[in-house]
Amino acid sequence: MTTSYQLKRADFIFKYENDWEKILSKCISRTPQELINELISSELKGRGGAGFPTGLKWKLAAEVVDATKYVICNADEGEPGTFKDREILSMVPYKVLTGMAVCGYVIGAKEGYIYLRGEYFFLQPELNKAIREFEYYCKGINLDFTIRIFMGSGAYICGEETALFESMEGKRGEPRNKPPFPSSYGYMGKPTVINNVETLAHTYTIFKYGAKRFYDLGVQYSRGSKLFSVSGDTPKPGIYELELGMSLADFVDEFGDGDTKAVQVGGASGFLVPRKRFDETAIGFQGKLTGISLPTGGSMMLFNSSRSMFNVLDNYLEFFREESCGQCTPCRVGCQQLLMGIKAVKRGEKNAKYLDKLLRLTETMKLTAKCGLGQSVANSFSSIVENFREEMIY
Amino acid sequence: MVKKIKISINGIFVEVEDGTTILDAARKAGVIIPTLCFHKDLCIAGNCRVCVVEVAGQKRLAAACATPCEEEMEIFTNSLNVLHSRKQIIELLLSEHNADCTSCFKNGNCELQKLASDYKILKQDFIRLVPFKNYTIDKYSPSIIKDDSKCIRCQRCVRTCAELQGVNALTVAYKGDLMKITTFFEKPMNDVVCSTCGQCINHCPTGALVERNYIEKVWDAISDKTKHVVVQTAPAVRVGLGEELGLGQGVRVTGKMVAALKRLGFDAVMDTDFTADLTIMEEGTELLMRLKAVLVDHDPAVKLPMATSCSPGWIKYIEHLFPDYLDHLSTCKSPQQMFGALAKTYYAKARNLDPETIVSVSIMPCTAKKFEAARPEMHDSGYRDVDYVLTTRELAIMIKQAGIDFMKLDDMHFDRLMGESTGAAVIFGATGGVMEAALRTVYELVTGRDVPFENLNITPVRGMDGVKEASIKIENPLKEWAFLDGVELKCAVAHGLVNAKKVMDSIISGQANYHFIEFMACPGGCLGGGGQPIPTSPEIRLKRAKAIYAEDEGMPLRKSHQNPEIIKIYKDFLGKPLSEKSHHLLHTQYTARKRY
Amino acid sequence: MNPVTDLIKSLADQHGRSRHNLLPILQGVVEQEKYLSEYSMIEIARELDLPASEVYGTATFYSFLEYKKMGRYIIRICKTITCSMKGKNQVLLAIQDMLKIGVGETTPDGTFSLLQTNCLGFCHKAPAMLVNNEVFTDLTPEKVREILRMYMNKKKEGGSYDN
Amino acid sequence: MINITINNKVIQVEEGTTIFEAAKQHGVLIPHFCYMENVHQIGSCRICVVEVEGGKTLMASCVTEVKEGMIVHTNSERVRDVRKVIYELMLSDHPKECLSCWRNQNCELQDLGNLIQISEFRYEGAKSKDIIDTSSPSIVRDSSKCILCRRCVTVCNDIQGVGLMNPHHRGFSTFIGPSEDELLGESVCTNCVQCVLVCPVGALKEKDSTAIVWEALYDKTKTIVVQTAPAVRAALGEVFGYEPGMLVTGKMASALHELGFNYVFDTNFAADLTIMEEGSEFLGRVKNAITAPGKNDVLPMITSCSPGWIKFIEHRYPDQLSNLSSCKSPHMMLGALTKTYFAEKMNIDPANIYVVSVMPCTAKKFEITRPEMFNNGLADVDAVITTRELGRMIKDAGIDFRNLPDGEFDSPLGLSSGAADIFGTTGGVMEAALRTVYELVTGRELPANNLHITPLEGLDRIKTAELKIENPLPEFSFLAEVTVKVAVTSGLLGAAELLNEIKKGTSPYHFIEIMGCPGGCISGGGQPRPVNDAIRTKRLEAIYREDEGKLLRKSHENQDIMMLYHDFLGVPLGHKSHELLHTVYTRRSKN
């Protein structure tokens, strides 16, 4: 099965398709159960980074009895190094809209929202046009489904699903306690399905070409293709659709500049992989691949040997310190301590052993933080400090 | 029938109702989980993360206060992971906390201090964040001091201000490292909608919110031989003070308190209860006048329902949020201010003292009284009516400072002239008490008979329900009150400003047609006031209320108009209720304020 | 009547007066006024029957909702690592040099405000910046000077307060 | 009687009373700091100053005696101002890190802050050098927190007679401790840690052992055994807010089980065993002295249960070591038995057994590190935690102590008699020994009211008793008409007195019990703070209550002890006993 580790390009997301009306009509002629089964058998997992099975998510929301439900498309793409959603929404918006409408049909929701980050304000006019056209068609086929854009205002944490609901409800975007989960208690306390832009776009592919076609791509536990936002020290930055399960070594061969020292997979909240581990690292969701398998929202930042990993970490931690919502202790204070801690070590005010104390702190943050932000600070911190300890020290 | 589920906590099996949080289940099983942001009075936040526990099969730890139990859950409150994480979280909290305990007002009664001492965080490795931040200490309010360097962002104050009081003076602002608890545009507490009720102080686990204390000022006055220092004590103080001095909750210490005040060196120790009785006389008469004006004269300028005005937190609240409804307020000053005005007139004259030399101190369960005493209207005696207001907590500190062995004190009585009171005055300290006291007197004035409740206990207005209603039908009144025959006097009682808002909203929307409403700013009335001992909880407030009613039942006189000193003051000084002198000294007016 | 009051009224009419309409209204005010003044927050609070402190608390959470007076053109330059790697600092220096202001400041004539922001989502075309809602990518010191000159001219020609 | 006026109140007190005591008797509390009950006062902290009318300066109330007609104000403006300044000056040289101090919430300096209420520091003065000495297995000394009240000096010199803690240098450079370069771990310190009990702040503290115990508890490969000393049950409750003198034996056993200890044994079992061994040893020595003088007959024999005392005699009276009983202290005996008798019985590899002792004592932390206390390369006891540390562990674990049901100790090392309980107090070992020895010798019960030898009870420094033996059993006929003279002391100053007598050859006694801490184990260095005579008395009463409440009151009646001798040890002083239960002592330098 070594072949599946190789880099394989795919072309589904951005493929020009002018048949969305047909796909939508076809979908709503099937029963919701059929559609859910189709999704489940495709093994599509959320493309925002966490990798929750999409079919299951729809199923859970469909099972809850409530007259009002919501479908939300999470376009608060704030992870540093990620820019695929912007491209999807500007190139193939109707795929996303179709995905939302089908989801609405499946779970019984009549309202959909696209939570668009404030930085993408300029997408609004085009997207609104697409929505108007789309809603017009829905009305035509008697599908009661409306979509509205909700603009964010510059807060990374609002990408966290419950924080996003809070934000839409006009409050501070602070994550809620879980449980209850969105499938039973989401936006306005109603059952809600919230999916990433890319995930919704993939559902279009699945509903059009069938689950089999999607399932055949990728490897076990990580099926299908995925968009990767490639940036940093690379001769060809941009967005690429690749099959999941590739090894990082192959990826670097293709996109590296020949001097790649490390790759940050998954943005600031992801992991840093040093050169010596490229071979044993595969890109996909946690599963039984040999070596390490890393989930990702699609951000791939490459660093060559001229880059100081201290600066990278410093930049990430500064980002987290600012973007933490500030409500829970481990994240609010922890991020400040990590940032000040590595600076103190770098300046020689604290000795290198202090890094171990900080590593222990990230462990605590991972265990106890209220939401994914605080929990994932540990990822980049520990992977960078463990692999480039010498660069952190005075 | 609520479903029962079985869980195990540290290997102990317990059965709990579906929906119970892990924290409650653990308490049931005799397992203590430490908490900080959790408070019984408030909604669940789950943000301090001190209460994290391990649930078998879950990767991450769960916040016990916010996680409901599920069938067959296996919970460990004490695993290595939990212990390590909890310790580190406390360490993190300490790193952003200004830990100058020895100069902190909350020293010895601080939840963070206790947590740190229980978990013995002996090494502070983390970088201290306090010196790197520009913390502000807001000292502008006459009632409350807010010190951000001691704040641990548990948001208990914010939830108190919004949920219990509906004031929303405090809010969470900014995010990340800048996140802080502040007011609208970071204005001083004195410039915003804050009612100065002090409930935030009662709920703050640390010393970030404390009352502005006037202990030194009072000591100076006592030491000054040229001054005659008069002190008055509010009804609720006598059922709270004991808690600060090591006695149990709900223990009455009236006699010991008086003895302690004398030992402290006050020249006269008198009772706010006296003016509480006086309030009933004035306010009761005012109510009857208003009823007459509305029912007989149809005077559109006179408004009903009439609202009580004893609670300065409530006064400031209505001035901010319902400035158009100020004419519903009784014009009576609060008992404290009546006392202050009389101390420098009636008392000075009777004792042949120069009012200039009198320093009037009051001991209150309340922080809003500090604000009230500083209002410009409160100078009717020609001087500032009340010079210093101390909370129950401050009095306890003074007693400790003076080295008084409180337990060994013999009971003493208040001094004459303004020290006599009735049971009706005592119950001013509990929610519903003013209403009950007023009805006891008004009913008797109108009908000549006792109020028709067993043992004078008007039970419908007692208890801890947020809004209570009662009505009394007046039958066979005395001749001069004939117009009230058959009138059903409708009353309501609200405590906690969020309940006050509910009642106000129902008045504005026209749903309610009460005649008389008692409003108290703090949950439970004065006994749960912002100046009372910390901690507070529904159970503690209930115990204090019980003590208040027990004090009432033990009094020989239980109706305000029976108080011999009240009869004397009307005879010697005031004339009759609502006389010109009364109007000058005992009544006031109100100011509309801004809404933020 | 204050024009902001009218604006807030019409925004409230358009979006609704529930709590969940707060964000669009705040955004609407910021789009027009560039920032939320004390006055506008009080007006919004009154219009939506919310406590003013809550409006303040919510607004300060979002970095695009400014609560200090801002210039007509708000420059937000991306400070994420990829942009830093591609010469963001030189670009920033060029802007500071040209406008004679530091980060977080506004030019005395109230034309430009300079801010840094987190990832704009243009890492493949780093460095990137936003001027109000317009994106500029692949910046160099020369290019950014040109862009600023364009805005300066625009101001001279137009002078009105539309974007 | 003398008449004085305090705060405008005329009172009568005895001549010679200090102002402080006079005020206290009449319900006026004066804040104080260096003051210690029942010892001479030094008046160094000046917090207790009061104003005496006619006096130019304020006077320290703890050292000023009352005079006829004195008019005292304890709370005048001057007093309050001065008090505040003194307090601030104290703080100016104190690290204000309350929340990371082990004495947080149990600190007299902190309490004083609560009383005095300062809101800002006006004096940010120089800071003393901070010396942190962690060399001792029992004590950590942190000079940065020391406020020079000299309570530890008083206790180390005047009560314990060790004379290690002393002031050095002068002026601002003054510091308290052993001399400049001397480390506590290498000094004559007996590890009795009475100094920690009196230290008002966090300058002296016990060495923490909870961390290693937690680690062991989480190690699933180990069988964790815990044992608790008699005095712990009479004081542990204080940590959880009970009044002093509350017995919490059952709750303590439950709490230990909940903490995750696999077996909860009782040091009292080994106390009974000690009586068997020590009693036999005593009878042997007396027999030799009477029948075959000159051979192994060193009298008086002195008890060896208190490791603080042992270290003291090793340093100070190395020539008298042969007077010591060769018995190990009870918890070492139990440790040794756990890793042999119990291991065999349960078929557990002794290397996988981890023994923790809960002791009222910090000297035990030193004792377990002595090389003699290892058997086959395994320590008899692996860790010692104090009563305070156990309290903290229970709090850490979130156990609701007050609502625990009563639990039981585990077999086979958990049963004990009342004689073992009274080991916890001064005079207890002697009483327990006499109960058994007398009965062994005469076949009759000890002729004392309710088995209590009242002259040996109480807090007096040196207590003596005589016991005439009449009609002994035939095998002990050599004891007929012999009057056995015994003495009991607690606190090392009394020990020195008795030892000097022995040294001079004038000691009339046959048997002496010596405990390192005043009052015995009930006020050991590891017990909850504060400790004073009132609290000692309450704990002491609790111990006797426990004794009297038991069916078994004599060590030799303990059937588990009988079983142990039957199954494993053979006879008292047998070969196995000598190997496991007895030890030798080391001569140590005098300073």
| Residue D293 pLDDT exceeds 90 | no
Does any CB of chain B come closer than 8 Å to the CB of residue C45?
Answer: yes
| Mean pLDDT value across residues D252-278 | 93
Mutate to test the interface with A, among B18, B33, B44, B49 (most CBs of A within 10 A): B49
Q: Indicate whether B66 and B117 sit together in one domain.
A: no
3-state secondary structure of B493: strand
Cross-chain Cβ contact B185/C41 below 8 Å: yes
CA-to-CA distance for A305 and A308, rounded, in angstroms? 8
CA-to-CA distance for B479 and B447, rounded, in angstroms? 9
Please check whether the domain covering C73-156 is classified as CATH 3.40.30.10.
Answer: yes
Q: Indicate whether B259 and B399 sit together in one domain.
A: yes
Catalytic residue among D44, D521, D523, D577: D521
Q: Count Cβ atoms within 10 A of the Cβ of residue A221 and give its class: 0-12 exposed, 13-18 middle, 19 or more buried.
A: middle
| Residue C161 pLDDT exceeds 50 | no
Q: Indicate whether B370 and B346 sit together in one domain.
A: yes
Does any CB of chain B come closer than 8 Å to the CB of residue D84?
Answer: no
| Residue A4 pLDDT exceeds 70 | no
CA-to-CA distance for D380 and D374, rounded, in angstroms? 6
| Mean pLDDT value across residues B76-94 | 92
What digits encode the pLDDT tens for the residues C9-21?
999 999 999 999 9
Domains annotated on chain D, with CATH: 2-91 (3.10.20.740), 128-207 (3.30.70.20), 215-269+331-403 (3.40.50.1780), 276-326+416-522+547-581 (3.40.950.10)
Which positions in chain B touch D200 (Cβ < 8 Å)?
Answer: none
| Residue A362 pLDDT exceeds 80 | yes
| Mean pLDDT value across residues D508-523 | 92
- Residue of chain A minimizing CA distance to C54: A171
Nearest 5 degrees, angle CA D432-CA D436-CA D440? 165
Nearest to C121 among A119, A311, A323 (CB): A119
On whether the CB atoms of residues A295 and A51 are closer than 8 A, the answer is: yes
| Mean pLDDT value across residues B79-107 | 91
On whether the CB atoms of residues D178 and D131 are closer than 8 A, the answer is: no
- pLDDT category of residue C157 using cuts at 50, 70 and 90: low
pLDDT value at residue D1 = 86
Chains that touch A (3 or more CB pairs under 8 A): B, C
pLDDT value at residue A232 = 93
| Mean pLDDT value across residues D138-167 | 89
Task: Tell me which residue range forms the domain holding B247.
Answer: 215-274+337-408
In a domain, B261, yes or no: yes
Cross-chain Cβ contact D398/B117 below 8 Å: no
| Mean pLDDT value across residues B32-38 | 94
Tokens coding D419: 């004689």
Q: Indicate whether B254 and B358 sit together in one domain.
A: yes
Q: How far is B19 from chain A (nearest CA, A)?
A: 11
Q: How far is B102 from chain D (nearest CA, A)?
A: 5
| Mean pLDDT value across residues B249-262 | 95
Residues in CB range of D143: below 8 A, 6 or more apart:
D128, D129, D130, D131, D132, D175, D176, D177, D203
Look up residue B104 and give its amino acid. Answer: C
- pLDDT category of residue B1 using cuts at 50, 70 and 90: low
Q: How far is A277 from chain C (nearest CA, A)?
A: 22
Domain range list for chain C: 3-59, 73-156
Tokens coding B72: 């067959």
- pLDDT category of residue D292 using cuts at 50, 70 and 90: confident
Task: Give the residue from D390, D299, B89, B485 showing the smallest Cα distance to A366.
Answer: B89
pLDDT value at residue A5 = 54
Tokens coding D199: 């230290």
What digits encode the pLDDT tens for the residues A254-312?
999 999 999 999 889 888 999 998 888 888 876 443 345 555 678 899 999 999 999 99
| Residue D120 pLDDT exceeds 90 | no
CA-to-CA distance for A91 and A95, rounded, in angstroms? 10
Cross-chain Cβ contact D110/B123 below 8 Å: no
Q: How far is B155 from chain C (nearest CA, A)?
A: 13
Q: Indicate whether B139 and B248 sit together in one domain.
A: no
- Residue of chain C minimizing CA distance to A149: C24
The pTM of this model reads 0.87
| Mean pLDDT value across residues B95-116 | 90
| Mean pLDDT value across residues A364-372 | 92
Which positions in chain A touch B45 (Cβ < 8 Å)?
Answer: 327
Average pLDDT for chain D: 89
Which positions in chain C touch A83 (Cβ < 8 Å)?
Answer: 121-124
| Mean pLDDT value across residues B343-364 | 95
On whether the CB atoms of residues B283 and B311 are closer than 8 A, the answer is: no
User: Which comes out higher in pLDDT, residue A282 or D19?
Assistant: D19
What digits encode the pLDDT tens for the residues B492-507?
999 999 999 999 999 9
Cross-chain Cβ contact A233/C85 below 8 Å: yes
Average pLDDT for chain A: 90
Before A179, cis peptide (omega within 30)?
A: yes
Q: Indicate whether B234 and B363 sit together in one domain.
A: yes
Cross-chain Cβ contact A326/B92 below 8 Å: no
Phi, psi values for residue A197, rounded to 5°: -55, -45
What digits encode the pLDDT tens for the residues D430-463?
999 999 999 989 988 888 888 888 888 888 889 9
Cross-chain Cβ contact B32/D114 below 8 Å: no
In a domain, B114, yes or no: yes
On whether the CB atoms of residues D268 and D422 are closer than 8 A, the answer is: no
| Residue B308 pLDDT exceeds 60 | yes
Cross-chain Cβ contact C42/B596 below 8 Å: yes
Nearest 5 degrees, angle CA A301-CA A88-CA C32? 95
Does any CB of chain B come closer than 8 Å to the CB of residue D85?
Answer: no
* CATH T-level fold of A10-215: Rossmann fold (3.40.50)
For chain B, how many structural domains are there in total? Answer: 3
CA-to-CA distance for D508 and D513, rounded, in angstroms? 14
Chains that touch C (3 or more CB pairs under 8 A): A, B
What digits encode the pLDDT tens for the residues B496-545?
999 999 999 999 998 988 999 999 999 999 999 999 999 999 999 999 99
In a domain, B571, yes or no: no
Nearest to D100 among B107, B114, B121 (CB): B121
- pLDDT category of residue D295 using cuts at 50, 70 and 90: low
Phi, psi values for residue C68, rounded to 5°: -115, 155
CA-to-CA distance for B245 and B393, rounded, in angstroms? 10
Does D touch C (3+ CB pairs < 8 Å)? no
Q: What is the DSSP letter of D173?
A: G
Which positions in chain A touch C57 (Cβ < 8 Å)?
Answer: 172
Q: How far is B262 from chain D (nearest CA, A)?
A: 11
Mutate to test the interface with B, among D75, D87, D123, D212 (most CBs of B within 10 A): D75
3-state secondary structure of A121: helix
Please count the other Cβ atoms lying within 10 Å of the Cβ belonging to residue C67: 18
CATH 3.40.50.11540 range(s) for chain A read 10-215
Mutate to test the interface with B, among A317, A329, A331, A371 (most CBs of B within 10 A): A329
Q: How far is B181 from chain C (nearest CA, A)?
A: 9
Q: Count Cβ atoms within 10 A of the Cβ of residue D384 and give its class: 0-12 exposed, 13-18 middle, 19 or more buried.
A: buried
Adjacent-strand bridge partners of B363: B233, B390
Residues in chain A, total = 394
Cross-chain Cβ contact B595/C61 below 8 Å: no
Does any CB of chain D come closer than 8 Å to the CB of residue B478?
Answer: no
Cross-chain Cβ contact B94/D100 below 8 Å: yes
What digits encode the pLDDT tens for the residues C33-69?
999 999 999 999 999 999 999 999 999 999 999 999 9
- pLDDT category of residue D177 using cuts at 50, 70 and 90: confident
Which CATH architecture group holds A219-304?
Roll (3.10)
| Residue A1 pLDDT exceeds 50 | no
DSSP letters, A6-52, are S--B--STTS----HHHHHHHHHHS-HHHHHHHHHHHT-B-TTSS--
Does D touch A (3+ CB pairs < 8 Å)? no
- pLDDT category of residue C158 using cuts at 50, 70 and 90: low
Q: How far is B242 from chain D (nearest CA, A)?
A: 17
| Residue B144 pLDDT exceeds 90 | yes
C 31-60 near A (Cβ less than 8 A)? 57-58
pLDDT value at residue A220 = 81
Active site residues of B: 283, 286, 310, 330, 369, 372, 377, 526
Three-class secondary structure assignment of D89-108: HHHHCCCCCHHHCCCCCCCH
Q: What is the DSSP letter of D350?
A: G
Does B touch D (3+ CB pairs < 8 Å)? yes
In a domain, B206, yes or no: yes
Please count the other Cβ atoms lying within 10 Å of the Cβ belonging to residue B465: 15
User: Tokens 């030892």 appear where?
Assistant: D499
Cross-chain Cβ contact A150/C24 below 8 Å: yes
- pLDDT category of residue D176 using cuts at 50, 70 and 90: confident
CATH 1.20.1440.230 range(s) for chain A read 309-387
| Residue B328 pLDDT exceeds 90 | yes
Residues in chain C, total = 163
| Mean pLDDT value across residues D49-66 | 90
CA-to-CA distance for A121 and B371, rounded, in angstroms? 48
Q: Indicate whether B264 and B349 sit together in one domain.
A: yes
- Residue of chain D minimizing CA distance to B107: D114
Task: Give the residue from B50, B146, B57 showing the smallest Cα distance to B91.
Answer: B50
Residues in CB range of B247: below 8 A, 6 or more apart:
B253, B407
| Residue A3 pLDDT exceeds 60 | no
pLDDT value at residue A290 = 39
Cross-chain Cβ contact A170/C133 below 8 Å: no
Which CATH architecture group holds A309-387?
Up-down Bundle (1.20)
Does A touch C (3+ CB pairs < 8 Å)? yes
